[in-house]
Amino acid sequence: MNSFWYNDMEFSVQPSGKAWDVLRHQAGGNPAVVGAALFPGTSAADADKLARALVKSVYPVGVRVVGPDVAHPNKIGDLKIVGPDVTHPNFIYWDKDSASFPKSL
């Protein structure tokens, strides 16, 4: 079993027959399955590299920025109020592995 931390969450890669399971360890002790029977026939090092790439795509680190929907403003008298466009959200990624503050300086 190989475990790693990403975005303040603990994950592990465990063998499952000739494939690998990727698990997320939660605070209560019950693991959540990210993927089961993945990467058949790969070595442990390759499975670890692929699992890290999978986790980074499933649990991205970033900030969701919701832009305004300028096509449908709300009108209050002559004032146009532009609400958020939830159908076209933007997501800003960065190259950090965690969105939390450092635990020590």
State pTM to two decimals: 0.64
CB burial of residue 74 (10 Å; 0-12, 13-18, 19+) = exposed
Mean pLDDT of 77-101: 65
Does residue 36 contact residue 52 with C-beta atoms inside 8 Å?
Answer: no
Query: Is residue 105 predicted with pLDDT exceeding 70?
Result: no
Query: Is residue 66 predicted with pLDDT exceeding 90?
Result: no
Look over the chain and give the mean of its residue pLDDT values, rounded to a whole number.
80
| Alpha-helical regions (H) of 1-105 | 44-58
